[in-house]
């Protein structure tokens, strides 16, 4: 299987980001030497001329499209128009130009936010169209969902080989800990260490703590994406997850324990909870390309916290 991609020219959009760093490591493990990472400073992928220039410069056989405008509930609520437009236009243009160039394979990173707000648990790929996404991140989720439509319709009309993967919430070392745009795990880790450092006896957490989430360690996610890149060739969407569920209240308790914060947790119930429950059915990924998460959640959290302490709390 490795021979199928190791001699290919591969573009990784978003390769300088959090997940991208793990994808590059995974490609290196697979002996891939011809990997091109378009930097945002040189290629604004929301602009069609930049997309065309990037393809001309890189001449790829395979595209792994990770680049996205992402953030937590607060960022999604503040800039819904940007989250919709930037994510939609990047994907639409990249896929269309890839089709025109006859690129061999296009790997699309979708999102768990594609699913309806009240999807039955565990989430099955067939339920993706059975309702509207959770309101706080619907523009982002719908923008990504349109790329699934594009993938399926381009395969039907043009025979274009694209795949659509839906990873659950990712976490791990090198995550984004900026409180303005970070997701729940890095936000909570930073909040706890900030409180310890400033000797505060309380942290405030959004919502009620009742919703549940599933988390996938970034190294596992990268391994799954490259496994799919090598051997999955259908447009049917595929969940990538670890197959477990933890409430936000339990998550906060675990992070408080692992960071050593001794104070109280105050729940700000005026703030939104987001989607009520999230847990994926991961059977399709295992059946189609043998993917199964390897890292336990607590092990992954410990590694993430250790990295944060070592590289950011100096």
Alpha carbon distances (Å) from 34 to 45, 54, 67: 21, 15, 19
| Number of alpha carbons in the 13 Å side-chain half-sphere of residue 287 | 8
Residues contacting 29, CB < 8 A, separation 6+: none
Please, is 180 exposed, middle or buried when counting C-beta atoms within 10 Å of its C-beta (0-12, 13-18, 19+)? exposed
Please state the φ and ψ torsions of residue 99, each to the nearest 5 degrees.
-60, -45
Q: What is the 3-state secondary structure (H, E, C) of 277-297?
A: CCCECCHHHHHHHCCCCCCCH
Q: Which residues pair with 164 in a beta bridge?
A: 108
Distance from the Cα of residue 175 to its chain's centroid: 11
Cis-peptide into 306, omega within 30 deg: no
Q: Decide if 232 is catalytic.
A: no
**Annotated active-site residue in 55, 140, 217, 232:** 140
> Which active-site residues does the annotation give?
140
């Amino acid at each position: 299987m490795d021979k199928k991609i190791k001699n290919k020219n591969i573009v990784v959009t978003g390769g300088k980001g959090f997940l991208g760093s793990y994808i590059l490591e995974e490609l290196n493990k697979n002996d891939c030497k011809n990997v091109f990472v378009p930097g945002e400073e040189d290629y604004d992928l929301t602009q069609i001329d930049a997309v065309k220039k990037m393809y001309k410069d890189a001449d790829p056989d395979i595209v792994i499209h990770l680049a996205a405008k992402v953030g937590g509930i607060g960022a999604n609520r503040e800039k819904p128009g940007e989250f919709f437009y930037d994510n939609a236009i990047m994907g639409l243009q990249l896929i269309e130009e890839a089709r025109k160039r006859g690129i061999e394979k296009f790997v699309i990173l979708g999102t768990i936010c594609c699913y309806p707000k009240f999807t039955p648990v565990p989430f099955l790929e067939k339920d993706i169209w059975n309702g509207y996404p959770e309101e706080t991140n619907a523009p982002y989720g719908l923008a990504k969902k349109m790329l699934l439509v594009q993938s399926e319709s381009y395969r039907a009309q043009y025979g274009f080989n694209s795949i659509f993967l839906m990873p659950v919430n990712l976490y791990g070392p090198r995550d984004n800990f900026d409180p303005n745009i970070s997701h729940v795990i890095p936000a909570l880790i930073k909040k706890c260490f900030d409180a310890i450092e400033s000797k505060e006896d309380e942290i405030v957490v959004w919502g009620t703590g009742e919703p549940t989430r599933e988390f996938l360690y970034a190294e596992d996610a990268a391994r799954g994406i490259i496994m799919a890149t090598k051997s999955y060739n259908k447009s049917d969407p595929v969940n990538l997850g670890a197959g477990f569920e933890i409430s936000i209240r339990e998550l906060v308790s675990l992070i408080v324990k692992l960071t050593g914060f001794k104070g109280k947790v105050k729940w700000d119930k005026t703030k939104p909870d987001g989607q009520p429950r999230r847990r994926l059915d991961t059977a399709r990924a295992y059946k189609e390309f043998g993917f199964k998460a390897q890292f336990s959640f607590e092990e992954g959290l410990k590694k993430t916290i250790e990295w944060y302490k070592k590289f950011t709390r100096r």
